[in-house]
Chain A
Amino acid sequence: MSGVNGVTKHAGSAPLLTLRNVSRRFVTGRDFLGRVQQSVCAVDNVSIDVEPGTTLGIVGESGSGKSTLGRLALRMIESDAGEIDFSGEDLRRLSPKDLRQLRPQMTMIFQDPYSALNPRWTVGRSIAEPLRINGSSTREETHSAVVDMLARVGLDADAMHRRPAAFSGGQRQRIVIARALITRPRLVFCDEPVSALDVSTRAQVIGLLEDLQRDLGLTYLFVSHDLGIVESVSDRIAVMYLGSVVEIGNAETVAREFRHPYTASLVSAVPAPDPRAQRVRRRIVLSGDPPSPVDPPSGCTFHPRCPLAEPICAREKPPLLIDAAGHGVACHVTQGSTDLIGANLLARMTDAREPGISTTLPVRVPAPDSAPASASMP
């Protein structure tokens, strides 16, 4: 574990949300021999700040801990260690009663608009449900809040009487957004809110989220595996790999002047919707799956897939060092370098790949001889 925390030093208003050295392990049971307990460090010593009215984007491959981090931040699950501060309150120390009072201020939008809504309930009932749980609104207040929310998300008031089946994916996501905002939250955790939607609908829903942020002063934690989308909505971006934040900074900086080799590989995987640019661009296609979080690699957990890895990388975990501009990188090799930034870093990585490892297709044809006998093959 690194000794240096990701404390941002850049100026700005007091953060709405602060995480300090937050970690969470999940016990995933015993291994297949039934002996040792396995556990997964889903979030490992993460520190972030989110300023009010801004969007912190969180990117990373599947399983990197993005959803877990968001759920920890909203205290939907408990953390093992660290501090979580919401609007000056230490969430981890809050009594259940106080937490219940704070709840309406923190909500969540899920990925799948199809399973997020109860198919038997009318849309109006689904949207009003968080108010009912709260128990503080009269019938009339609830009704007018639902009408207002529907208008804000661009749906007709009579949508209230219909059931989810009557709506397309994009419309359902608008309903889900209306439900998430009905309690007038300050912090909204958007977990892959557009991944299940078509490209054209995606752009509509993102535009809606941006409008609502401006009108209602919302703060977003915005999770996606697509750096292109995250860049277009975020003020700041945190890049996660196997539970750790490996790079953090202003959206522009992380997307264009990135310094971490893993960020570089994510950038090179974003489809550039321009065929010529795409063809000349050399992609760093990471070979293989991300390593198992049950048994993470030593040192820098990215080292088995990193073209720039040096001996130290397998031994020591690089700390996340944050500069005066609030740009943080956890990498032994690129940290002190003045030229391993952005396009230069990408070029260096593709060059490093050339001997030995293919940047495109890892074709490895096994020798056809002496295959070990196998019971499951017919």
Chain B
Amino acid sequence: MNRTADVAALSIGGLEISLVQGGRPVPVVTGVNLSVNKKEVLGLVGESGSGKSLTSLAATRLLDPRVVRTTAGSVKLFGKELLTLPEAEMRRVRGKEIGIIFQDPMTSLDPAFTIGYQLNCGLRWHTDLTRAAARNRVLELLGLVGIGDPRRRVDQYPHQLSGGTRQRVMIAMAIACEPKVLIADEPTTALDATTQAQILELIASLATTMEMATVITTHDLGVVADVCDRVAVMYAGQIVECATTDELFYRPKHPYTERLLQSLPGVRAGRLQGIPGQPPRSGRFPQGCRFAPRCPYARPGCSADDPELTRVQTDHAARCLREAELELTGVGA
């Protein structure tokens, strides 16, 4: 292995994000540690409110500082710290070196302009392509993301496109400058099952062909089973488990992951399991293990001590005090 391969494309360490509206900052995301290598797809999985979008926004420094700020930690792009970068330089990183796909395609596409115009603007901001060259590149990009008949589509407005095609346009925008890192925040949550499968395969195949490091966030573990190399599970603002995809599905080491897997249709015959109770409201996390109020294996000790994210195998870490003694059930068991 050469030296550059040792440096992760994107690495996030000790990330803490806090709400800063009025009074003392309230941490809502704490202890996020992640790293993604070139050509690797990482799934960031968690219930809504667990902090997936905040983490994605913090990594690209798109948080609104009047409301929510990164209060600790580091975000490195090939070893270069991004959190201290001057804003002007960060603007060049965004779009050019890190491509971003946001949760809701309708809010990220401007309804007043054709998709061609919007793609073109992004391209010419980051590159010195001529107008004609940029237009050709736009057509090429639309083809690359599987949009048939790009010459016609390029002059259409967002509302004329189906949800799936709109999401393809978002992907085209994100990869326009051949970024090294791609962050896709719930890219398929608003889409139906067939379209979801199409979009995920598209992202995974682009990640390989363009050699990007990719982070896909989702609340549905089932959808990442075949597209991700590794999966990180988030609960109440923390990573609670991180492992290679097979490890995580077949040998989960955190009770929350086990319960999530049991919530999926098709994992076992009969009734879906679900997880009783609700995740804690942001910033109002319980003492000790944050999953304890919903955990079927909780012991009194679990609410006393904060579990650390502990390595249990090469490339498998879990945040559970009883990890060593529990026999958890994965899929296919």
Contact = CB atoms under 8 A, between A and B. Distances in A.
Contact of B271 (A62, A207, A231, A277): A207
Contacts of A203: 262-263, 272-275
Interface string A283-308: 10111110000000000000000000
B219 interface: yes
Given A271-B225, A273-B267, A289-B164, A362 B148 contact: yes
Contact of B116 (A62, A289, A377): A377
B323 interface: no
Nearest to A170: B278
A323 B246 CA distance: 42
B114 A271 contact: no
A229 B267 CA distance: 12
B225 A275 contact: yes
Interface string A162-198: 0000001111000000000000000000000000001
Given A204-B276, A272-B225, A366 B117 contact: no
Report the contact-size class of chain B (Cβ under 8 Å from the partner). Answer: 35 or more
B249 A275 contact: yes
B197 A269 contact: yes
A265 B241 CA distance: 33
Given A366-B139, A368-B136, A377-B135, A210 B271 contact: yes
B266 interface: yes
B47 A198 contact: yes
Nearest to A288: B148
A376 B114 contact: yes
Contacts of B143: 363-366
Q: Is the interface of B mostly helix, strand, loop or mixed?
A: helix
A89 to B, nearest CB: 34
A345 to B, nearest CB: 17
A47 B151 CA distance: 41
Contact of B275 (A200, A210, A228): A200
Contacts of B304: none
A251 to B, nearest CB: 12
B155 A199 contact: no
A289 B162 contact: yes
Interface residues of A, number: 57
Interface string B269-303: 00111111010000000000000000000000000
A32 to B, nearest CB: 10
Interface in B184-212: 192-198, 201-202, 205
B177 interface: no
A270 B197 CA distance: 8
Give the residue among B120, B198, B221 with the most A Cβ atoms within 10 A: B198
A168 B47 CA distance: 12
Interface string B119-155: 0110010000001000110111011101010110011
Contact of A274 (B194, B220, B249, B262): B249
Q: Nearest 7 CB-CB pairs, A to B?
A: A203-B274, A203-B272, A278-B226, A225-B192, A271-B222, A204-B274, A228-B265
Interface of A: 61-62, 168-171, 198-204, 206-207, 210, 225-229, 231-232, 265-266, 268-279, 283, 285-289, 360-366, 368, 371-372, 374, 376-378
Given A269-B196, A273-B261, 8 more contacts: A199-B47, A203-B262, A226-B192, A283-B201, A361-B202, A362-B146, A377-B135, A377-B155
